[in-house]
Each structure stands twice: as structure tokens, then as C-alpha cells.
Structure 1
Amino acid sequence: MFSKIPPVTRALLIANVVVFLLQWLAGESVLGDVLDVMQLWPIGAGDPYGAPSFMPWQLLTYAFMHGSIQHLFFNMLALVMFGSQVEHVWGARRYLGYYLTCVVGAAICQLAVGYGTMAMGGEAYPTVGASGAIFGLLLAYGMLFPQQRVMLLIPPVPMKARTLVIVYGVLELLMGITGTMPGVAHFAHLGGMLFGWLLIRYWRRRPPSRGGRNRPPNIRIVH
């Protein structure tokens, strides 16, 4: 079964699992301190807050780290379920570009939230996890296969992919505004969806270049 997962999705899966194992083994060692700097820290963190400072590489590295085995499991399950299908349609190069765009977009939105929190006297806290990219993949899946029925795990209710995207998007927005489930980066999830949507819109509107090169990917919509 593992061999049937397309190459980029498989590589992302392996990378996330390996980094999580490193986190688990590192603990309070020097390696643990290095990994702390790989998390996404708010702009302005560090002294006098006593937290690591924001660094540009964190825009990508945070997405390969997770806070718990449950966090990792559900993200990787969604990666395989939705990402594999999206990669089959778009191909490896476009798919990877889309995934990383969602990672960075989620980070940008979370940095804005973190900056606002600190400006109001809140504490600096790091963000980890591939959830922003996963929500971007969920959006792409919903646009590619809107009528495909998806079975939720909790609760076990089947619904169309398009409906699933709308429900999750609305729930994340409501929970982000109301502060429900603190400790979850709701606006990072929405940021992954937003930047994914913007990239898809760009691909669909970009005219083909001369000679047929660099044409936009096949953004297939199933009705």
C-alpha cells in the first residue's frame, strides 16, 4: 500500500515522521534547542520574552514538526487521503509547489495573529504542524472532486467534498474569531486554504505562453 502513494506525498509523509522522531528523541538536548528554532515563532519574539526569535526558514520548517502523535497521525492521514489524489491530477511538480505555497501562506497568517497577540500583551508561542497545508489540500480536493463523498472519522458522517470544505472553513473561522479551542492555529488553517485558493485562481486565469510551455496545470473540476 505504501508503494502506491505518489512520490511527493510519500516523501512528505516520511519527512514528517522522521522529524517527529527527532523531536521525540531530542528532548532537552542540544538537538532539542536546535529544533526549537525550527518552530514558527512570532515576529518580535525573543528577548525580553525569553523565546527564540523569528527566522525566515521557519516559514517552511515549522510544517514538518508536530506537537503530539495524534497531531501527526491525523495530519498524515489527511495528507495521504487527499494529497495522493491531488498529486495524481496535477503531477509532482505542481503539487509540491501548491503544498509549499499553502505552508508559507499559513505561516504568514499565523505570524500576523501572533504579532497582534503580542501587541495586546499576550505571550509569544510557537506554531508547529502541517495543518495549514492539509487544509489547502482539502480545498484543492474539494475543487477537483466536489461531488466525491468523503466519510468523516469524527463523527462518521458521509458528505460531499465540496460540503466538507465549506463546513471546515466556516468552523475554523468561527473558532478563530471566538477563541474556541485555544492552542489550535485556526487562522493558519484558513491561511493555507486562502493561499491555496489564490494559487488555483492564478493558474486558471494565466494565459498559456508561446510554444505551449508553462501552461497552467489541469485544474479539473468535476460536476
Structure 2
Amino acid sequence: MNKITDGIKHLIIINVLLFIAPQLLQLDVTNILALHFPKNGNFGIWQYITHMFMHGSFSHILFNMYGLWAFGSPLEQMWGKKKFLFFYFSAGLGAGLIYTLVNYYQFTGIYDLFINAGLNNSEIIAILEKGSSAGYNLKDAITQADFDKIYMLYHTPAVGASGAVYGVLAAFGLFYKDAKLALIFLPIPIAAKYFIPIMILGDLFFGVTKYSVGNIAHFAHIGGALIGFIIAYYWKKNEFKSYE
């Protein structure tokens, strides 16, 4: 069993504290710490970091922290604490940025339909804030599906360390290609070099289709994995050593 490393121990402690404390104190810090859509009034640039320490449920934090420990421990042992933390936060930040860019692209496509219907920016934001287009003749311009989609993009914040953990997974698969991995629903051990790409391709599939189950930020997973792979590949190729 992997010994818990110093950096990962501190990350897990912070995540657990920020999961438990608001519940014990009956505080809702979602509007402050979760990652909101940039046009939403609750958006703050700091949320690209703080959302990584927020989780929506016990199972959410459990699986993320398990993945961080199981796949991150060998990397921190190899790289050292400072290098691993740099990697972790870079992957998480990249995940948040790519997630925002994809959402912004989707938002803009529907937003333009409002503009073409003769609305200005303040009117569109007012509609999104109240969740109703009553008083505006949008029946022929905006479908209910489009309205539901842009409303969700505007109001739904992202939480969780999943993007950073996917970066860790990508790096693990690069450095430990032949390690055997398995899932509860797929108990057959598969080499990491096959297992992790299959997981990422699964996120891509669910991200571009309507088959996703639950409100999962698939493109944050893909973004974290992409940034994590790029950094890890560069370090491996250039034999970047630990500076501790």
C-alpha cells in the first residue's frame, strides 16, 4: 500500500476540512469558492483555484481523494513535494480554464440567438437571472432546449478536484504504463497505458453527446488530463529532476 506523501496529505486535509466545516457551521460558500461562469455575478478569478477544494457529496470527495492518493503518491515520491504540487495545481487550473472555454463556446452560440431576436446584453442577463423570458417574444428564436442549456451554463458552478486528479492519472499512465488497474464495475486488471486513455475517451464521448449521467464536468476532466500529460511528457522527455 502506498505511503501517504507530505504534499498529498496536506491536499487531502484541506479538501476534507472545506467539505466538513461548511456543513458543521451551516455555511454555504458555493457562491464564493465554486467556479462560476464568467458572466455570472458570482464569478471570481480566485475560483479557478478554490473550486479544486470544493465537493458536492461524500462519494465525490471520496473518489477524488482516493485517486489523488493512489496515483499521486508514486509521482510525489518520484518528483518531490514542490514539483508535484506545481503539477497538481497546473493541471487543476488548466482543467478550469478549458472547462470555461468550452462552456463559453456553447454559451455564445445560444447567446447569439438572443441577439438575433433583438435583445441586448442587459436584457439577456436579466432573463437568465430570473429564469424566464416572459414579456419577450422569443418563441420562434429560442427553443426550450436552448433556453435550458444556456440557463444551466450561466447558473451551474463547477466543484471538485477531478480535473487535477485526471492530470495525475495522465502522468501516472505515462510513467507507469504497465501498472495494472481496474474499476469496481470492470474488475479485470488492465495496463495503465490502455486503461487511462479509455477513461479519457469515455469523458470525451459523454462530453460531446447527450448520454452523460448526472451533472459531470467532462471537459474539466479532459482539460486536466491534457495539461497533465503535456507537463509530464515534457518533464519525462527532458529528464526534469526534482529540485528538493
> Is 2:187 aligned against 1:188?
no
Q: Report what 1:116 is aligned to.
A: 105
Q: Which amino acid aligns with 2:18?
A: V
Once residues 20 and 163 of structure 1 are traced to their aligned partners in structure 2, the CA distance between those partners, rounded to angstroms, is: 33
Q: Which amino acid aligns with 2:224?
A: G
Once residues 151 and 173 of structure 1 are traced to their aligned partners in structure 2, the CA distance between those partners, rounded to angstroms, is: 20
Structure 2 unmatched ranges of 5 or more: 111-146
Structure 1, residues 44-91: CA drift from partner, whole Å, max 9, x if none?
Answer: 112xxxxx1x21110100010000001011111111110111111111
State TM-score, norm by structure 2.
0.76
State TM-score, norm by structure 1.
0.83
In the TM superposition, what is the alpha-carbon distance from 1:106 to its structure 2 partner?
0.4
Root mean square deviation of aligned Cα? 1.9
Sort the Cα spacing of 1:92 and 1:113 in 2 relative to 1 into closer, same or farther, 3 A.
Answer: same
Once residues 108 and 189 of structure 1 are traced to their aligned partners in structure 2, the CA distance between those partners, rounded to angstroms, is: 11
1:37 to 29, 32, 36: 32
Q: Among the aligned pairs, what percent are the same residue?
A: 34
Higher relative contact order (CA 8 A, sep 6+): 2
Sort the Cα spacing of 1:156 and 1:204 in 2 relative to 1 into closer, same or farther, 3 A.
Answer: closer
Residue-pair matches, total? 199
Q: Report what 2:241 is aligned to.
A: 217
Structure 1, residues 143-162: CA drift from partner, whole Å, max 9, x if none?
Answer: 11100111322322211111
Answer whether contact 2:14 2:53 (CA < 8 A) is retained: yes
Rg (Cα) greater in structure: 2
> Is 2:193 aligned against 1:162?
yes
Sort the Cα spacing of 1:11 and 1:161 in 2 relative to 1 into closer, same or farther, 3 A.
Answer: same
Post-superposition, which runs of at least 4 consecutive aligned residues in structure 1 deviate over 3 A? none
Structure 1 unmatched ranges of 5 or more: 47-51, 207-214, 219-223
